[in-house]
């Protein structure tokens, strides 16, 4: 919400400068994001009148004008603006004036004609962002000779407030003035709004078919408006200072009333309405061309304003192009309605829209404003565009309008929450200044909530109101007193924080991505995944809950590659969501992704690319923290997101807990990734499950080592050979180390040589060669029988 400080001070004006006012409302929970001057700094500019205009003798696009600037003498000035005319009131920079950008006005000759001053445009005075080819025309009642800055009230500020979604009541000057009045104990005085007496009896029928979504609808036919008239400069300025662009007088007035009172309005061209105005749900197959030119296919859950021929507008969001006000409009149908927040919530976003009207209706608009706003807009329309107002046509369903709410506030609960006892008189005064009706009770107050406060529903809401109006900075700061027992330390579990630190120690950075991803990305990586779709996503490319950490990590990789970061090491810990809502599983996972060179760039570093075993080693370092690496297995298996020849299923105690591998080339091509990437994800509960460390006495007796090289089929996993060795090596085998895998000269085609070092050690005696030879023979025989392995000569 952006507003003009001067406009607010017409309603309520505390004894504070703009910064003090901003600090005050920020401390009350309405955070101020920015304070900006409404115009650039300039001086020496006055209101003047163009007395005469003659063509320049040597330039077709220039005119020689005489202006009256109130000094008693006419001043000659050469002007190139196409819209300058005799009788206009204009801002005039005298000789010696200083315009924005430290531009000083001096006497000059333009094509041989003397010019003493400059007639200014809005952009030249810093009152418009876009450069204008025309001068700024002032109302005829502007006083000649008066300082333009003073007369226009340009020593003003635009204040931007970032409101939380529950404070829709402050999306107007009226709402903000109400807050400032409460904070400063000042009365709030807005413009007097009286009912406009009808000038004709013609009505336009209104039929509400869905009173639950639209409990109140008011329409009025205003005939004979002149859309060609200019919007008054004072209104254009107030709109500009509130961040709204002037369009035409009818649209400007509806925007003005929305900013002033908080009630969105809409005006239809009566000539394009047929039969009656109908408030209903859209029907299958209906389409609407919106005011922004976009054609949308309406869903059957969308509330629309229609006539007998079809939809005219999406209710509470945006009007249609075909029924909007145009230069040919003579009669308008003015709409003011109350739409329930749930009927409008999310509708704009599903069509890729966000409008001032939807922003307000989603948060709740005071249902009692409907008539007041239409009367205010009618008076402004008649005063500015002329026309004759007809009687109000109203449809109202009291059964569906928000009812009166009463909330109990207990003094003991208030004191407990604030940590401070406030006088009952002060509490009652705060509640009454907020517009709440109060009735004293033995234990506190029974509070009646006004129609504009949709956010006050429970006792805690009232406690918050008392706290913020009293002043958060005036509440005591106390540490809570509690008897806290020490938590049990589960020594067999590895904390997630330790896993994170291990990944950081190995050169990774933690990524935190959204829990929802683009459906196209998830489908490319996990075509068979089932996860919930969001009913109200923050954007179309974040509309499905992630079924894996892979989509978020791949998107983060793409982001880094697009910014010339060729070496990427990322990990993430978070939930994944599998299944539909009725049977949803939320599984904590830990995933990682690597891409680029194995080592950072450096004069002594290698430029070799990272490979599968680098990533597997990083994962095994996490597994090692649990102290039971023998419980883990990696088995070749296909995965839709992983390379067919470089993917493995991760098993923990025989149960599948994750995947590891290289990104599938087809997926890379689909996503347009220029580099290879490897990634894994594992269930956190498997990684954090370990065993308690125990001491094993060191043997005083020597180790015995045997190195064995086996010839096996190239497709045989080394893990199968290791499992066979461990099964035959006996209880005194202390270590089995793979130290070489070789294919090439000397090894038959289709085979590979696997060399392992086996170490035995007995805790209480020296092992002899005969015992070791028996164990080696058993290993060789079992490997030959079950794996077809032969000792390499």
The pLDDT of residue 506: 95
> Who has greater pLDDT, 344 or 382?
382
Of the two residues 489 and 432, the one the predictor is more confident about is 432
Residue 557 and residue 593 in contact, taking contact as beta carbons nearer than 8 Å: yes
pLDDT recorded at residue 698: 87
Query: 298 pLDDT exceeds 70?
Result: yes
Give the confidence band of 645 by pLDDT, cuts at 50, 70, 90: confident
| Alpha carbons 91 and 69: distance in angstroms, whole number | 9
Mean pLDDT of 497-514: 95
Q: Which pLDDT band, with edges at 50, 70 and 90, does 23 fall under?
A: very high
366-384 average pLDDT score: 96
DSSP string, 562-590: TTT---EEEEEEEEEEES-GGG-EEEEEE
DSSP of 752-779: EEEEEEEEE--SSSPPPHHHHHHHHHHH
Closest by CA to 494, choosing from 656, 681, 624, is 624
Per cent of the chain over pLDDT 90 is 78
As a whole number of angstroms, the distance between CA 548 and CA 99 comes to: 60
Q: 131 pLDDT exceeds 70?
A: no
The answer to whether residue 793 scores a pLDDT higher than 80 is no
Extract long-range pairs of 49-56: CB within 8 Å, 24+ residues apart. Answer: 49/87, 49/88, 49/89, 49/90, 49/144, 50/84, 50/85, 50/86, 50/87, 50/88, 50/90, 50/119, 51/86, 52/86, 53/84, 53/85, 53/86, 56/110, 56/111, 56/113
Reduced to 3 states (helix: H, G, I; strand: E, B; else coil), residue 216 is: strand
Reference 635, options 718, 572, 748, 521; nearest CA is 718
pTM given for the model? 0.69
Q: How far apart are CA 113 and CA 587, in angstroms?
A: 82
- For 103, phi then psi, to 5°, come to -90, 115
Contact predicate 719/634, CB 8 Å: yes
Tell me the pLDDT band of 158, cut-offs 50, 70 and 90.
Answer: very high
At 500, the pLDDT band (50, 70, 90 cuts) reads: very high
Of 108-117, 157-166, 473-482, least confident by mean pLDDT is 473-482
> pLDDT, tens digit, for every residue of 105-114?
999 989 889 9
Average pLDDT over residues 42-46: 94
For residue 130, pLDDT over 80 is answered with no
Bridge partners, residue 93, by sequence? 45, 118
Average pLDDT, stretch 535-564? Answer: 91
Domains of the chain (ranges; CATH) run: 2-38+157-184 (3.30.56.10), 43-152 (2.40.50.140), 206-396 (3.50.40.10), 405-469 (3.30.56.10), 496-688 (3.30.930.10), 704-791 (3.30.70.380)
What is the average pLDDT across 206-229?
Answer: 95
Alpha carbon distance 476, 458 (integer Å):
24
Residues 6 or more apart whose Cβ sits within 8 Å of residue 604: none
Q: Are 427 and 418 in contact (CB under 8 A)?
A: no
Q: Is 373 exposed, middle or buried (0-12, 13-18, 19+ CB in 10 A)?
A: buried
Which residues on adjacent β-strands are paired with residue 661? 647, 679
CB 208 within 8 A of CB 395: yes
* Mean of all residue pLDDT scores within the chain: 92
pLDDT over 70, % of the chain: 99
CA-CA distance, 624 to 606, in Å (whole number)?
27
CA distance 143 to 48: 8
Q: Angle CA(113)–CA(117)–CA(120) in degrees, nearest 5?
A: 115
Alpha helices in 526-573 (DSSP H): 550-561
């Amino acid at each position: 919400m952006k507003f003009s400080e001067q406009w607010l001070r017409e309603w309520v004006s505390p004894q504070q400068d703009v910064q003090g006012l901003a600090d005050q409302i920020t401390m009350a929970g309405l955070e101020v994001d920015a304070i900006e001057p409404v115009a650039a700094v300039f001086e020496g500019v006055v209101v003047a009148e163009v007395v005469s205009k003659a063509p320049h003798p040597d330039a077709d696009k220039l005119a020689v004008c005489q202006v009256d600037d109130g000094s008693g003498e006419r001043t000659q000035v050469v002007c190139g603006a196409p819209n300058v005319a005799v009788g206009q009131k204009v801002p005039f920079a005298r000789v010696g004036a200083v315009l924005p950008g430290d531009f000083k006005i001096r006497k000059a000759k333009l094509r041989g004609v003397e010019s003493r001053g400059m007639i200014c445009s809005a952009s030249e005075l810093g009152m418009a962002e876009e450069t204008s080819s025309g001068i700024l025309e002032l109302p005829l009642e502007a006083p000649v000779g008066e300082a333009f800055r003073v007369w226009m009230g340009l020593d003003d500020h635009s204040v931007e407030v970032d409101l939380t979604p529950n404070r829709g009541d402050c999306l107007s000057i009226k709402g903000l003035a109400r807050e400032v009045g409460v904070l400063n104990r000042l009365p709030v005085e807005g413009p007097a709004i009286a009912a406009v007496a009808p000038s004709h009896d013609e009505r336009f029928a209104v039929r509400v078919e869905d009173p639950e979504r639209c409990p109140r609808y008011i329409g009025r036919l205003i005939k004979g408006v002149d859309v060609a008239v200019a919007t008054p400069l004072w209104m254009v300025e107030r709109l500009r200072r509130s961040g709204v662009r002037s369009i035409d007088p009818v649209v400007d007035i509806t925007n003005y009333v929305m900013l002033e009172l908080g009630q969105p309005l809409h005006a239809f061209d009566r000539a394009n309405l047929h039969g009656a105005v109908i408030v209903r749900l859209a029907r299958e197959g209906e389409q609407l061309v919106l005011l922004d030119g976009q054609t949308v296919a309406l869903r059957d859950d969308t509330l629309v304003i229609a006539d007998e021929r079809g939809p005219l507008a999406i209710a509470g969001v945006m009007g249609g192009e075909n029924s909007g006000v145009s230069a040919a409009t003579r009669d308008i149908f003015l709409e003011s309605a109350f739409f329930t927040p749930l009927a409008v919530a999310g509708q704009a976003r599903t069509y890729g829209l966000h409008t001032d009207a939807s922003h307000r209706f989603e948060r709740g608009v005071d249902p009692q404003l409907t008539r007041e706003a239409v009367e205010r807009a009618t008076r402004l329309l008649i005063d500015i565009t002329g026309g004759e107002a007809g009687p109000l046509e109203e449809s109202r369903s009291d059964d569906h309008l928000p009812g009166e709410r009463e909330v109990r506030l207990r003094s003991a609960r208030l004191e407990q929450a604030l940590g401070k006892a406030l006088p009952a008189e002060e509490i009652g005064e705060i509640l009454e200044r907020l517009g709440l009706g109060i009735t004293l009770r033995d234990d506190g107050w029974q509070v009646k909530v006004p129609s504009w406060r949709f956010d006050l529903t429970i006792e805690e809401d009232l406690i918050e109101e008392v706290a913020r109006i009293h002043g958060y900075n005036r509440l005591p700061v106390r540490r809570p007193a509690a008897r806290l027992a020490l938590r049990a330390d589960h020594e067999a579990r590895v904390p997630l924080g330790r896993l994170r630190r291990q990944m950081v120690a190995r050169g990774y950075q933690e990524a935190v991505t959204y829990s929802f991803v683009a459906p196209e990305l998830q489908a490319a990586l996990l075509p068979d995944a089932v996860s919930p779709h969001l009913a109200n996503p923050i954007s179309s490319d974040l509309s499905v809950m992630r079924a894996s950490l892979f989509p978020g990590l791949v998107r983060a990789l793409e982001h880094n590659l697009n910014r010339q970061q060729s070496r990427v090491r990322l990990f993430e810990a978070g939930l994944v969501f599998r299944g539909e809502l009725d049977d949803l599983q939320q599984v904590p996972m830990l995933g990682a992704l690597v891409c680029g060179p194995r080592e950072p760039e450096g004069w002594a570093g290698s430029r070799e690319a990272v490979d599968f075993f680098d990533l597997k080693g990083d994962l095994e370092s996490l597994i090692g923290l649990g102290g039971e690496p023998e419980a883990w297995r990696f088995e070749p298996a296909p995965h839709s997101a992983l390379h067919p020849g470089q993917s493995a299923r991760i098993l923990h105690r025989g149960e599948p807990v994750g995947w590891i591998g290289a990104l599938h080339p087809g997926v890379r091509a689909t996503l347009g990734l220029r580099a290879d990437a490897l990634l894994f994800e594992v269930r956190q509960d498997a990684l954090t499950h370990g065993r308690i460390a125990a001491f094993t006495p060191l043997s005083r007796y020597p180790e015995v080592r045997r190195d064995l090289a086996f010839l096996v089929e190239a497709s045989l996993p080394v893990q199968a050979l290791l499992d066979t060795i461990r099964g035959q090596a006996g209880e005194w085998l202390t270590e089995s180390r793979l130290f070489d895998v070789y294919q090439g000269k000397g090894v038959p085609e289709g085979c590979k040589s696997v060399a392992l070092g086996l170490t035995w050690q007995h805790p209480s005696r020296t092992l002899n060669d005969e015992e070791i030879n028996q164990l080696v023979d058993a290993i060789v025989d079992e490997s030959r029988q079950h794996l077809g392995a032969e000792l390499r000569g």
